[in-house]
Amino acid sequence: MERKDTIKSNTDEDNKKEQILLPPTKNESEISRIYKLLQTAGTSNVGELMKKFKPIIDITSDIINKVAPYFIITWTYILQIYNIIPEDILMAILGLCLAFFGGVYVLTIAAAETFILTGWEGFNQSFSWLKQNFDLLWEKSREDDKKDENGDGIADILQISARELFSRKVAFFFSNCSDPQKLMDMLSVLCTSVISVIAVLKIEFAKTIALGTTIGESLRKPAAYFIVPVASTAIPKDYHQWIAPAINLLCKCVAVSIAWFIQIIISSVQTAIRGGLLFSRRTLHFLNDKGYIQFNDEDSYLDEIIGWTVALFGVYYQLTSLFSVPFPFNVLLLPLTIVENYLSWIIA
């Protein structure tokens, strides 16, 4: 008996030595650190800090509560339209928008193309997982909406304010998310793509600035020839030293505007061609699938004829309308207009 106890004691000592000798793995260290943080969280000042930020949190919550219902309604209608209209028709409509309004949304189109090239594949995979989990969470959320914990015959969500409902749903999402790391991976891919988009747009804008600088240097001498005599007469002699810098600044502003307008014209021609061909090919493909016509894009030039014709009309319309979007298309394309203005502000 004593021998068995001795053997057991030696075994325990050996295990303790092995535990001391073997360093903890990375995951064990991380888990241990998080566990310690959770133990000390109750004595921290996070609650006091949250109280100080309560006004900001309340304002943010109010904004979300007012905006979220409209966003959900809009998104629901978009999904319904997307599920009803065939994909070929949707792509044909997109082609028409590119052909007739592509020059108005130069930066948005460039940003979309950059995102497709840099982060669409990873984002699409993560988004597919997110959509599947969102569907599961949605079903669980509908079950949560039916809960009546106080037993008064009225669902709990009908007896709380909009702010409390929002807080409840946020807590529900965090507590039922199956794999937060995949969500973080999707956000990481999205952030990387956004940085890539901004970098590409800044490079394109830098090219436009370089072109504008070149044009500005060419405008400086003729502008001085016409402006200096008038300015020297109209401006008091004490301020004549500002004439030359003002002319230089004016020439650069005019030149950059000219360069940007040239870039818009080039982009409008490019998007009109792409949009016209997209419209013709998708429309003919839809008609062929429905059996209305017999069409093979390898043996026919019909898609090129229709596509280039649409592109020609698209370029003509954009130039004659000075790249404006008429009513009601300006209302339908308002989100793109907001994105375009925001991108312009970022790269400026």
pLDDT, position 5: 47
**Phi and psi, residue 245, nearest 5°:** -60, -35
pLDDT, position 165: 67
pLDDT, position 36: 55
pLDDT, position 312: 94
pLDDT, position 6: 47
Structure tokens at 23: 């360093």
Q: Is the pTM of this model over 0.85?
A: no
Structure tokens at 191: 């952030």
Task: Give the count of alpha carbons within 13 A of 293, CB side only.
Answer: 13
Helices marked H in 22-105: 26-40, 46-52, 54-84, 87-101
**Counting Cβ atoms within 10 Å, is residue 102 exposed (0-12), middle (13-18) or buried (19+)?**
buried
Angle at 342 between CA 55 and CA 92, to 5 degrees: 125
Handedness of CA 176, 179, 181, 184 (dihedral sign): negative
pLDDT, position 51: 57
d(CA 280, CA 267): 20
d(CA 136, CA 142): 10
Long-range contacts of 90-96 (CB under 8 A, 24+ apart): 91/278, 91/282, 92/278, 92/279, 92/282, 92/283, 92/286, 94/275, 94/278, 95/274, 95/275, 95/276, 95/277, 95/278, 95/279, 95/280, 95/282, 95/310, 96/275, 96/279, 96/310
Nearest Cα to Cα of residue 224 among 240, 210, 244: 244
pLDDT, position 237: 82
pLDDT, position 32: 59
pLDDT, position 116: 81
Q: Over the stretch 253-302, which tens digit does the pLDDT of each residue have?
A: 888 888 888 888 988 999 999 999 999 999 988 888 888 888 777 778 88
pLDDT, position 156: 67
d(CA 297, CA 174): 50
pLDDT, position 7: 44
| pLDDT < 50: residue spans in the chain | 1-9, 11, 14-27, 42
